[in-house]
Amino acid sequence: MFLKLILSLFLVSSVHASVVEEGFFIFDKEGKNLKLLTSHKEITIDHKNNRGYEAYGPKGLGKYLEMLKIDHEELAEMTEGNKDLNGYPTPKEIEAKLKKLALGNESFLKLFSIGKTHEGRELWMVKLSDNVELNEVEPEVKYIANMHGNEIVGRELMVSLLEELVSKYKSGDKEITDLINNSEVFIMPSMNPDGAKAKRRGNGQWADLNRDFPDFTTTDNSNDHKGREPETQAIMKFQAKHKFALSANFHGGSVVVNYPWDTHSDDAPLTSLIVDLSKEYAFEVPEMRNSSRFQDGIVNGFRWYHVDGGMQDWAYFYYNDLQVTIELSDHKWPNYSEIPSFYEDNRVSLIKYLNRVHQGAGFYFPEAKKAKGKVEIKKLKSLPTDVVTSVGTYPFSDGEFYKVLPEGDYQYKIILDNGQIKTMKAKIQFKADLTNGNYLAL
C-alpha cells in the first residue's frame, strides 16, 4: 500500500520512454538500493560510479527517496537556477551554423530535416558524399549526438567535425576526400534540441529518449515507432530507409566508450570486433586511454549499468548497425571555452571511426533492387590450422547488403526469397586509402 501511494505521485505521460522531471545522485557505493530502484520502470539509473549513481524519474521521485531514507542529493543540472546556457549556442544558432556550412557546398553536403520535436524544432541531419543527392551503393555510417539535452559536448563536437570535414574536403586532403568520395556519412548534431534549449535531460515532454526505443529483452520488443516520442520516431523512420553498417552516439557524464549489449548480459555478436573498435577510439583520447576507472577506456554497457530501450542496442539488434555509445566528458555541461580542447582530444578518433566503415564487404543486385533474402557469412581458413567458423545469418532487402567485419577471408552464401542461391568470397583488410569497402554486383 505504501509503495502504491508513493508511485501514484509518478505522472507518466509517455507510453514507452521514462519521464525524467527529477534527478538525484544516490550515495550507494555498494549498490544495496539498486535492485529496489530498478524494479520500478519509472526510475532511470545512469552513470554508476564508485560512490553511487544517478537516478531520474517523474515528479515524486524525491519524496519516494526521502520516505525510504535513501541517501541522495539533487543533481545540480535539475535545479531551476542552473538553466543559463553559459555561452553555448541556442538550437536556433546551431541551425544557423549548419545552414551557413551548407551554403556553397551543396555538391557534397546536404542539410535536411528528418522530423520535428514536440516544440516544433527541426531535427537536422547532414549528409556528406561526393554525389550527395544520390543514394549510392556505398557503405553508410552515422553519428548522432545530444539525445540527452543536457549532455552538450557531443553537439559541439559534431559541428566542429563537420567544419573540419568540409574544410579538408575542399582543400583536397586525401584522407577526408577518400572518406567522403567512398562513403555516405550522416551526422546529426542534436537529436534533442528542445532539451538542449531547456538544459535538461529529457525532451519537450520530459521523456528520456535513450529509454524510448524497442528493446529485444522486454515486452516492448516490437520494432514499431507508434506511441513513441517524435524524436525517436524520426530516427526509427530514418534508420529503416538506410543500410547503416557502423554508428556511434555521443553522451556526457563520464569519459569512456560503452559497447553493447546495454540490456543483456550475453555478449553481442562480434564482440571482439566491437571491443577492438572501441579500444581504437579510446586510445587516441588521453582521458580515456589513461582512465583509472575503465580498463583501456572502454566498458560493456550491461556490466556498467543496465539500460532498457537504448538506441545503441536497438540499432544493432534490429538493423545490424554496429553502434557504440561514446561518453565525452565528466561534466555534462562544461565551460564553453573547453570545447576546443575536447575536440582536439577526440578529432583523430572521430575520423578513424568513420573510416572503419570500410572494413567490410557487401553485395548488390543492380537489376533486382527489390530482392530480399538472407545471407549466411562464414570466416574461412587463413592457415591450415584454422577452422571455418560461422559469423551469423543476416536478413537483407532492396537488393543490397553490407557488413563491417574483422579482417580476414569470408564466404557469403546469399539465399534469395525466390529460392535462388548465390555465393561470393570477400577478403577484408582495412587500408588507409579506403578502397576495400567493397560491394560486388551479383
- Domain residue spans in the chain? 2-82, 91-358, 361-441
The pLDDT value recorded for residue 14 is 54
Residues with active-site annotation: 327
The pLDDT value recorded for residue 180 is 96
Residue 92 and residue 96: Cα distance in Å, rounded? 6
Domains 2-82 and 361-441 share a fold: no
The pLDDT value recorded for residue 413 is 94
The pLDDT value recorded for residue 5 is 43
DSSP lists the bridge partners of residue 439 as 362
Cell of 137: 551503393
The pLDDT value recorded for residue 358 is 93
**pLDDT profile of the chain (442 residues), mean per 10:** 49 68 95 92 92 94 94 86 85 98 97 97 98 93 97 98 98 96 96 96 96 95 94 98 97 98 96 97 97 96 95 97 98 97 98 95 86 94 80 93 94 92 88 61 64
Cell of 432: 588507409
Residue 278 and residue 258: Cα distance in Å, rounded? 8
Residue of 230, 254, 206 whose CA lies nearest to 57: 206
The pLDDT value recorded for residue 439 is 78
The pLDDT value recorded for residue 387 is 76
Sheet containing strand 298-300, strands side by side: 109-116, 122-128, 184-188, 140-145, 244-251, 322-329, 254-259, 298-300
Fold of the CATH domain 91-358: Aminopeptidase (3.40.630)
Q: Please count the other Cβ atoms lying within 10 Å of the Cβ belonging to residue 252.
A: 25
Fold of the CATH domain 361-441: Immunoglobulin-like (2.60.40)
The pLDDT value recorded for residue 11 is 45
Domain 2-82 is of which CATH architecture?
2-Layer Sandwich (3.30)
The pLDDT value recorded for residue 1 is 41
CA distances from 10 to 22, 58, 297 (A): 10, 5, 36
Residue of 442, 427, 441, 342 whose CA lies nearest to 380: 427
Residue 51 and residue 67: Cα distance in Å, rounded? 21
